[in-house]
Amino acid sequence: MHGVRYPVVELRQYTLRPGQREVLIDLFDREFVESQEAAGMAIVGQFRDLDDPDRFVWIRGFPSMPARARALASFYGGPVWKAHSAQANATMIDSDNVLLLRPVTARSGFPAPAAPRLPAGHAPPGSERILVTLYYRDHPFDEAFADFFDRQARPVFTETGATPLACLQTEHAANTFPALPVRTGENVFVWLARFASPAHLSRHLHQLERSARWRDHVLTGLSAHDDRRTAAAPARPHRPVPAALRTRSESLPGPSWQVTLRSRQPPRVMPGVLAAAGLSPPGAVTRTTQEAV
């Protein structure tokens, strides 16, 4: 995709050992942000899961799948990861919950940074929240679904107070760096939105639940698209998504973010709220740890 800021995106959700999230965030923010970006990738954001104190979520982007392979080989084969991998891996129980994604259209990727990233430890506290919603179904999302979402769902989200950030879907290309697993055989449509505060997010969710347009038209339409599956593809249960983190964000506008993931039915939807982590003070968007190799 020409003109897309990050044509390839990883949404990474880590399950950590009890009490280790801040340890990982501090290490990630200090050692793994600039060093990864020097290898050719972008740290888009890190988050704290607001519903799970032992869940860490982060996002990174790449210019292409071949570039992803080169960047990951450079970083994970380089001196920074070798020096700090044991400490990072000691905080983790599972680091394989990774979705490989791409922007739905050339206009739906992450926006450019609102301001340069501050050095580690210098970001001011913030109260912004990010809502991440994941739609699952048993066959790939097509242009008809994306068009319905853009014309019908997005306006309702915006009218109820959401500020759109990005709209992504599964990248089905083969994993170009097999040492780091990604989830395969899944079809996911991911929507990210920003809110100025927890109160703004709560107001949005309340208004959405009370919206007749959302309930009677948008959800019905999403369900209709979701039901167009083949008989050989039965419905599968949702997989949980990350919640909140704090991070120094390269491209997400705003100093600090929280994300909450909630379930919306139908279709099979997994929304969640994330809190930024990392460079910024607690509750701000920053960076996260790397997965074990």
Residue 281 belongs to some domain of the structure? no
Residue 225 belongs to some domain of the structure? yes
Question: What global pTM score does this model have?
Answer: 0.81
What pLDDT digit, counting tens, does each position of 38-49 carry?
A: 999 999 988 888
Residue 292 belongs to some domain of the structure? no
Residue 6 has pLDDT above 80, yes or no: yes
Range of the domain at 91: 8-276
What pLDDT digit, counting tens, does each position of 83-95 carry?
A: 999 999 999 999 9
Give the CA radius of gyration of the chain: 18
Q: State the total domains in the chain.
A: 1
* pLDDT score of 56: 93
User: Mean pLDDT, to the nearest integer, of 178-194?
Assistant: 93
Residue 260 has pLDDT above 70, yes or no: no
Residue 252 belongs to some domain of the structure? yes
DSSP string for residues in the chain: -TT-S-SEEEEEEEEE-TT-HHHHHHHIIIIIHHHHHHTT-EEEEEEEESS-TTEEEEEEEES-HHHHHHHHHHHHTSHHHHHHHHHHHTTEEEEEEEEEEEESSTTSSPPPPSSPPPPTT-PPP---EEEEEEEEESS---HHHHHHIIIIIHHHHHHTT-EEEEEEEE--SPPS-TTS----S-EEEEEEEEESSHHHHHHHHHHHHH-HHIIIIIHHHHHHHHT---TTS---PPPP------B--SSSSSS--EEEE--BTTTTEEEEEEEE-SSSSTBBBB--PPPP-
User: Mean pLDDT, to the nearest integer, of 220-227?
Assistant: 73
Residue 108 belongs to some domain of the structure? yes
Identify the CATH number of the domain in which residue 57 sits. 3.30.70.100
pLDDT > 70: percent of the chain: 74
261/272 Cα distance (integer angstroms): 1
What pLDDT digit, counting tens, does each position of 15-44 carry?
A: 999 999 999 999 999 999 999 999 999 999
Residue 209 belongs to some domain of the structure? yes
Residue 282 belongs to some domain of the structure? no
Residue 290 belongs to some domain of the structure? no
* pLDDT score of 257: 36
Residue 254 has pLDDT above 50, yes or no: no
